[in-house]
C-alpha cells in the first residue's frame, strides 16, 4: 500500500472538548483525538478503507492514529488531527521568534499501519518522554 | 428535592456563558444536572463530581507509582522547587481566577521566574499584532445588538470551539438593531475546511491553507476597487469583490478570527492585516475585530492581570532580572524549553505541557523537576510531572473573577463545596508564597519590582523628577537603568 503526502492541520472539535473535560486519561479522549480525518480521495490514494490505523510521520515525529472519513469536509489535500498529544507528536514546533509553534500546515506522510495500535494519551506521552 | 442555582457562569471557554442553571442535591453537595450549557461545559461541571477524582496531592515515586502526600508537603516541595531553580518556568494561568493569578505573579516576582500563559500556544500572535497596529474592537453585547455582517475567519469554528457563541452573541440573537436574528445578518466563513460553522454560512470562502495573508490583502485591494489577479488563495476574484462589497455595505461589520491565522506561517502578520482590513472598512461603515479567545475561560484575564495590572505585558514574561521583560521567541515557554533555558517547571490552570505543547517541549518538561496543579483526575501533564496537586474547580467549587473573550470581567460563581479538605488554587498559591518568603529569609525582590511598577506609572504621567530619581534605592535605580537600555526612549533621566 502506498504512502501519501498531505498537509496536516489540527484544532478543536466538540468531541475533543467533551472527552477532554470527561478525563484525558480515558479511552473516549483517545477515540476523539487519536484520529486522522481524510477526504475520500485520500483514502483512494492510500489504498485502504476508512477506520484503518495509519502511521503519520513528519520530520518532527511519528504517531499511530485511526484514519476516518472527513467529518467537516471535503478538504482536499488536508489531513485533520484534533488538538492533543497525537497531533503534537508530529506538528512543527518551530516558532520563528514569535513564541507560537507552527501547529497548522505541517507536511506529513501517511501510511497504513493495520498491525499497530493507537495508544491512549497517558501511554503515548509516557512512551514519548520517559 | 433539588435546588436550582441560576445565573451560573460556565468555566469552560472564553464565551463565559452566564445563564447556566445547575440542579444540586438538597444538601448542596452534589451536582445533579446542568441546564443551558453546551456539551463541553456540562461535562466540566459533571467531571468535578467524578467518584475517582484525586483529592490529595501525590508525589511520583522512583518506580513511577504515585504516593499520597499532604498539602503541606506539596507546598514545601513546590516552594523549594521554585527557590532552588535558577530560572523556573511558571506556566498556565488560564483556567483559574484573576485573584489566583495575582498571587501567582507575586511568587513569580519572588523567585525571578519566567511566566507564560496559554496565549503562547493560542492567541499570542494576536497579542503581538495588537501591539503592532492596535485594534478596533467591540464587546459581544454591542455585536449582538448591532452587527449585521459577521465574519468567522481562519479556523474559527464556533460550532465546535465556542458552541454557544452564535446563539448568544453573533448570529442568532434578536438585538436592538438586529430584530430578525440570523435573518438580520450576513454570515461569512473563511476556512480551508467545510466546517460545521461554514455549512451554516451565507458565504464560505474555502481558501488554501496558510494563505490567509494573501486573501486578506486581496480584500483590502477589493475594498479600494483596485485590480486583482484571477485567483487569490484559490478564491476567484469575483467572490473576493463580492465579499468586500458585502462587508462595506453593512451597518456594522465584525470579524472574529481563530487559530487558523495565529498558528499558520505568518502568525502575527496574518492578524496585522486582518486588523488593517477592519481599519479600512471603517472608512465605509462601522467595523470591529474580535479574537475568538478562550479555549481556557480565563486566558484573557491572565493577559489582563499581567498586561493591564501587574507588568505591562500580557504573556511571555521574563522576571529573572527582578523586573519584567517581554520578548516572544526568547521569553516564550516553548522556546525556553526547547533551548534548555529553564531548570524547573510549574504548571497551573492548564494542561498544554501534557496535551497541547509539541512533543519536543513535553520531553524537556519530563526531564526537569516539575509540579502540576490541576483539578482534573489525571491530566497528561501529571504523567510527566513529579508532583500533582489537585485543587478545587474555579467556577464550580469556588468563585472568582474571569475575563470574557471581549475583555469584559465576569464574576464566576461557586455551585457546590469542593471535596473536604481540598484547597483552592488561590489558597495553595498563598501558602507557596508564604513558604517561598520563609525560605528566602526575608530577602524580597518585591521592592525592586514595586519600584519598577512605580517607575512605569511615572513614565505614563510625564517622567521622573531629579529629586524622585535620587530618592530611589541604588537597586531600584540600577534595575531601571537596565530597563532603559532596552527601551531608551522611555527613560527620561538615564
What is the residue-wise DSSP string for A73-87?
---TTEEEEETTHHH
User: In the CATH scheme, what is the code of domain B125-291?
Assistant: 3.40.228.10
Smallest CA-to-CA distance from B322 within B168, B443, B149, B196 is with: B443
Among the listed residues B294, B278, B308, B364, the one whose alpha carbon sits nearest the alpha carbon of residue B117? B294
Domain range summary for chain A, segments of one domain joined by + = 4-129
Among chain B residues, the shortest Cα distance to A96 is held by: B329
- B-chain residues near A14 (CB < 8 A): 38-40, 159-161, 163
Contact residues on chain B for A92, CB-CB shorter than 8 A: 358
Write down the pTM of the prediction.
Answer: 0.90
The closest CB to that of A14, out of B124, B160, B378, belongs to B160
Edge-to-edge, what's the strand order for the sheet holding B286-291? B203-205, B186-190, B149-153, B252-257, B286-291
Q: How far apart are CA B384 and CA B372, in angstroms?
A: 9
Q: Where are the beta strands (DSSP E) in B234-298?
A: 235-236, 252-257, 286-291
Supply the pLDDT for residue B476.
Answer: 65
**Partner-chain contact B12 A17, CB within 8 Å:** yes
Contact B361 A84 (CB under 8 A): no
pLDDT of residue B261: 96
A80-113 pLDDT per residue, tens: 999 999 999 999 999 999 999 999 999 999 999 9
- CATH classification number, A4-129, choose in 2.40.40.20, 4.10.520.10, 3.40.50.2300, 2.30.30.180: 2.40.40.20
How big is the A-B interface in CB pairs under 8 Å? Answer: 195
Tens digit of each residue's pLDDT, chain B (494 residues): 789 999 999 999 999 999 999 999 998 889 999 999 999 999 999 988 888 889 999 999 988 899 999 999 999 999 999 999 999 999 999 999 999 999 999 999 999 999 999 999 999 999 999 999 999 999 999 999 999 999 999 889 999 999 999 999 999 999 999 999 999 999 999 999 999 999 999 999 999 999 999 999 999 999 999 999 999 999 999 999 999 999 999 999 999 999 999 999 999 999 999 999 999 999 999 999 999 997 899 999 999 999 999 999 999 999 999 899 999 999 999 999 999 999 999 999 888 666 789 999 999 999 999 999 998 877 777 788 999 999 999 999 999 999 999 999 999 999 999 999 999 999 999 999 999 999 998 666 555 555 555 555 544 444 565 666 666 666 666 666 666 555 544 444 43
Q: Enumerate the β-bridge partners of residue B345.
A: B89, B370
- Provide the pLDDT for residue B112: 96
Mean pLDDT of all residues belonging to chain A: 95
Domain boundaries, chain B: 2-47, 58-120+297-439, 125-291, 447-490
Q: Give the cell for residue B488.
A: 531608551
- For an interface test with B, the pick among A99, A120, A123, A127 (most B C-beta atoms closer than 10 Å) comes out as A99
pLDDT in tens, A26-79: 999 999 999 999 999 999 999 999 999 999 999 999 999 999 999 999 999 999
Q: How far apart are CA A112 and CA A129, in angstroms?
A: 25
Q: Give the per-residue pLDDT at B154.
A: 84
CA-to-CA separations, B424 to B61, B116, B374, B376, in angstroms, rounded: 25, 21, 10, 13
Among residues B115, B128, B171, the alpha carbon closest in space to that of B148 is found at: B171
Locate the chain B residue with the closest alpha carbon to A121.
Answer: B380
Closest by CA position to B279, among listed B243, B255, B258: B255
Report the SS3 class of residue B462.
coil
Residue in chain B nearest A103 by alpha carbon: B263
* Cβ–Cβ below 8 Å for B263 and A98: no
| Fold of domain B58-120+297-439 | Rossmann fold (3.40.50)
The minimum CA-CA distance between B351 and chain A, rounded to whole Å, is 10
Residues of B in contact with A25 (CB under 8 A): 377-378, 380
CA distance A23 to chain B (A): 7
Which conformational region is residue B210 in: left (phi greater than 0), alpha (psi within -120 to 50 degrees), or beta? left
Amino acid at each position: 500500500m502506498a504512502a501519501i503526502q498531505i498537509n496536516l492541520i489540527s484544532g478543536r472539535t466538540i468531541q475533543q472538548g467533551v472527552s477532554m473535560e470527561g478525563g484525558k486519561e480515558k479511552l473516549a479522549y483517545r477515540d476523539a483525538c487519536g484520529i486522522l480525518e481524510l477526504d475520500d480521495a485520500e483514502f483512494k490514494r492510500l489504498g485502504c478503507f476508512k477506520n484503518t490505523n495509519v502511521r503519520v510521520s513528519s520530520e518532527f515525529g511519528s504517531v499511530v492514529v485511526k484514519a476516518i472519513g472527513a467529518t467537516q469536509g471535503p478538504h482536499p489535500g488536508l489531513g485533520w488531527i484534533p488538538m492533543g498529544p497525537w497531533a503534537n507528536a508530529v506538528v512543527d514546533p518551530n516558532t520563528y521568534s514569535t513564541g507560537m509553534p507552527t501547529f497548522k500546515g505541517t507536511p506529513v506522510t501517511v501510511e497504513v499501519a493495520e498491525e499497530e495500535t493507537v495508544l491512549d494519551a497517558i501511554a503515548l506521552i509516557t512512551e514519548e518522554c520517559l | 428535592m433539588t435546588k436550582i442555582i441560576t445565573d451560573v457562569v460556565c468555566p469552560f471557554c472564553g464565551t463565559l456563558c452566564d445563564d447556566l442553571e445547575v440542579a444540586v442535591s438538597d444538601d448542596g453537595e452534589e451536582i445533579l444536572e446542568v441546564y443551558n450549557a453546551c456539551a463541553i461545559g456540562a461535562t466540566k461541571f459533571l467531571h468535578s463530581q467524578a467518584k475517582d477524582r484525586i483529592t490529595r496531592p501525590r508525589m511520583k515515586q522512583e518506580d513511577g507509582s504515585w504516593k499520597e502526600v499532604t498539602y503541606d508537603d506539596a507546598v514545601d516541595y513546590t516552594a523549594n522547587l521554585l527557590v532552588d531553580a535558577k530560572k523556573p518556568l511558571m506556566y498556565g494561568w488560564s483556567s483559574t481566577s484573576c485573584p489566583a493569578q495575582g498571587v501567582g505573579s507575586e511568587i513569580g516576582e519572588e523567585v525571578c521566574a519566567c511566566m507564560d500563559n496559554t496565549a503562547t500556544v493560542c492567541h499570542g500572535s494576536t497579542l503581538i499584532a495588537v501591539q503592532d497596529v492596535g485594534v478596533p474592537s467591540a464587546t459581544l453585547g454591542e455585536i449582538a445588538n448591532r452587527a449585521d455582517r459577521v465574519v468567522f475567519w481562519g479556523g474559527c469554528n464556533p460550532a465546535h470551539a465556542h458552541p454557544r457563541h452564535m446563539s448568544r452573541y453573533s448570529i442568532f440573537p434578536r438585538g436592538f438593531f438586529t430584530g430578525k436574528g440570523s435573518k438580520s445578518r450576513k454570515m461569512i466563513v473563511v476556512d480551508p475546511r467545510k466546517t460545521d460553522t461554514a455549512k451554516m454560512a451565507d458565504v464560505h470562502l474555502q481558501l488554501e491553507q496558510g494563505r490567509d495573508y494573501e486573501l486578506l490583502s486581496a480584500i483590502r485591494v477589493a475594498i479600494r476597487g483596485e485590480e486583482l489577479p484571477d485567483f487569490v488563495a484559490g478564491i476567484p476574484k469575483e467572490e473576493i469583490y463580492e465579499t468586500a462589497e458585502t462587508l462595506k455595505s453593512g451597518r456594522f461589520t465584525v470579524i472574529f478570527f481563530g487559530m487558523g491565522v495565529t498558528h499558520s506561517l505568518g502568525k502575527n502578520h496574518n492578524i496585522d492585516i486582518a486588523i488593517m482590513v477592519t481599519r479600512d472598512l471603517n472608512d465605509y461603515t462601522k467595523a470591529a475585530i474580535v479574537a475568538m479567545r478562550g479555549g481556557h475561560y480565563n486566558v484573557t484575564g491572565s493577559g489582563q492581570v499581567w498586561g493591564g495590572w501587574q507588568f505591562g505585558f500580557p504573556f511571555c514574561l521574563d522576571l529573572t532580572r527582578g523586573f519584567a521583560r517581554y520578548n516572544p521567541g526568547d521569553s516564550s515557554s516553548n522556546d525556553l524549553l526547547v533551548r534548555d533555558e529553564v531548570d524547573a517547571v510549574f504548571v497551573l490552570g492548564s494542561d498544554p505541557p501534557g496535551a497541547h505543547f509539541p512533543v519536543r517541549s513535553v520531553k524537556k518538561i519530563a526531564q526537569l523537576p516539575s509540579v502540576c496543579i490541576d483539578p482534573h483526575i489525571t491530566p497528561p501533564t501529571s504523567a510527566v510531572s513529579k508532583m500533582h496537586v489537585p485543587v478545587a474547580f474555579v467556577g464550580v467549587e469556588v468563585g472568582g473573577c474571569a475575563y470574557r473573550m471581549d475583555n469584559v470581567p465576569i464574576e464566576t460563581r461557586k455551585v457546590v463545596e469542593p471535596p473536604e479538605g481540598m484547597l483552592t488554587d488561590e489558597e495553595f498559591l498563598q501558602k507557596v508564597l508564604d513558604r517561598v518568603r520563609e525560605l528566602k529569609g526575608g530577602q524580597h525582590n518585591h521592592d525592586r519590582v514595586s519600584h519598577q511598577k512605580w517607575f512605569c506609572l511615572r513614565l505614563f504621567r510625564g517622567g521622573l523628577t531629579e529629586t524622585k530619581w535620587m530618592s530611589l534605592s541604588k537597586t531600584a535605580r540600577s534595575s531601571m537603568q537596565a530597563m532603559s537600555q532596552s527601551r531608551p526612549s522611555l527613560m527620561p533621566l538615564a
